Amino acid sequence: MRPKVNEVFIPGAFPKYTYVSRESEEYEETYESRLRYCLNTAGFLTSIVGPSKTGKTVLCEKVIGLPKVVSLTGNDFKDAEDFWITLAKKVRLPLGTAFVHQESLEGEGLAGTKEARTASRSESYGSNKDEVINFFKNNDLVLVIDDFHYATENMQYEIAYQLKDAIRYSFKAIVISLPHRSDDAIRKNGDLSGRLNLVNIEPWTPDELKEIAITGFEELGVTINDSLVTSMAQESLSSPQLMQSNCLNLGLLREDDPNIDLETLNVEILNKTYKRTSLNHLTYQEVARKIKAGPYTRGKTRKSYTTIHNGITADIYELVVKAIAVDPPTVRLSTDEMKQRIDSLIEKAEDKPERKKIVNTIQQIQNIINTSEQMYQVFEYKDEQIYILEPLFLFYLRWGKL
């Protein structure tokens, strides 16, 4: 019996049927064998760094096996709690006296105080830590700390300190973080130098993304034309998650109507697919709106440009957003490319904004981003280039309702 579409394409979890093994240029082997090697190097900590949604977590699950992964995030470690107690709670390991000791301190309202930390620490060094390390070793467990950058700076150094010591006893741990987010506590920590195995995850190539669709539709017994697969890979912008979503939505549309032809280039069905996928990422509507609105104008109105799209008008902020979204989709745009894209959107030659004005607008947008929450960190303007840090945002700009 064939699996169902939603069992084959899984945008939010481990894709059993459509897992793609990728070759890393840097290590000249697959990411799986690189990670396996790292984990088999006793006395070393593994640090994985890669852009958002490139499969860091899924890679760990593949190599370690889901039941053996003990997954925590930077957020889970709190200053007031001993590192080993946090781990023990996670694996539901009842600890000896030291655990009780910390709890009784909590009862006395002393938790989080310096005395409490010293007390629970000095006891935990002998017992908690050994118990947790043994438990992990006896059960072949691997600690995976995701989103390391979410821990406070203090905590990051505390985690690094505890891990540095633990790895000497063959405790297996992986720390995952995003590029552009600080993990200096790990990668630039002198104490860890010579004890660190690095795994740098590269963005996905179109061919690697295509493999998700090829394997998946084959699994479903559906013949699909290469032009459809190529288009989905291009729109998915180096994100395997977007590729999984697009394949899932295309597969579901076809399931609803088996007469839909996937054996030729079917632009109509692709557009429908992308619009559906954009609905999964409605959070970016708010981000797009905030960027389009630009900074507060104190009641002044901005110059309005007439665009080539049925004479619809747009101000400079709206133009920048539109220019990022037009064909071909790309996660990196130079200032000159932005100028060309904006010019080509404007109806009258004499209206075309100066380069300086465009740069200024992009910088203003960067200011808005810098002073907004995590979700808004979608691009970075650096060295005359716009880098789209979040492919889902660009996808939303292209296919979602703004």
Ligand X SMILES: Nc1ncnc2c1ncn2[C@@H]1O[C@H](COP(=O)(O)OP(=O)(O)OP(=O)(O)O)[C@@H](O)[C@H]1O
Binding site for Mg ion (CB under 5 A): 56-57
Cβ at position 242, least distance to ligand X in Å: 8
Q: Which is nearer to Mg ion, 176 or 388 (CB)?
A: 176
- Closest separation in Å from C-beta 349 to Mg ion: 48
Query: CA 110, CA 105: separation in Å to the nearest integer?
Result: 5
CB of 383 to Mg ion, least distance (A): 28
Q: What is the dihedral of CA 168, 172, 178, 184, to 10 degrees?
A: -10
The item of Mg ion, ligand X, none sharing an interface with residue 74, based on CB under 5 to 8 Å by kind, is: none
Q: What residue is closest to ligand X based on CB?
A: 55
Least separation, in Å, of the C-beta of 381 and ligand X?
22
Q: Give the DSSP H/E element, type plus range, for residue 176.
A: strand 173-177
* 370 HSE (CA, 13 A, CB side): 9
Binding site for ligand X (CB under 6 A): 10-13, 15, 18-20, 50, 52-58, 146, 212, 240-241, 244
Could you tell me the two tokens for 398? 């292209």
Helix axes 316-325, 335-345, angle to 10 degrees: 100
Residue 18's binding partner among Mg ion, ligand X, none (Cβ under 5 to 8 angstroms by kind) is: ligand X
When the beta carbons of 57 and 236 are compared against Mg ion, the nearer one is: 57
Provide CB contacts within 8 A for 312, sequence distance 6+.
306
Q: Which residues neighbour 267 within 8 Å (Cβ) at sequence distance 6 or greater?
A: none
Give the H or E element holding residue 234: helix 226-235
Which residue's C-beta sits nearest to Mg ion?
57
Give 34 or 56: the residue with its C-beta nearer to Mg ion: 56
Partner interacting with residue 294 (select from ligand X, Mg ion, none; CB below 5-8 Å by kind) = none
> Under 8 Å CB-to-CB from 182, ≥6 apart: which residues?
149
329 binds, among Mg ion, ligand X, none (CB under 5 to 8 A by kind): none
Task: State the nearest-atom distance from the C-beta of 199 to Mg ion, in Å.
Answer: 13
Nearer Cβ to Mg ion (56/129): 56
CB of 83 to ligand X, least distance (A): 22
Using N-to-C axis directions, what is the helix angle for 316-325 and 355-370, rounded to 10°?
90
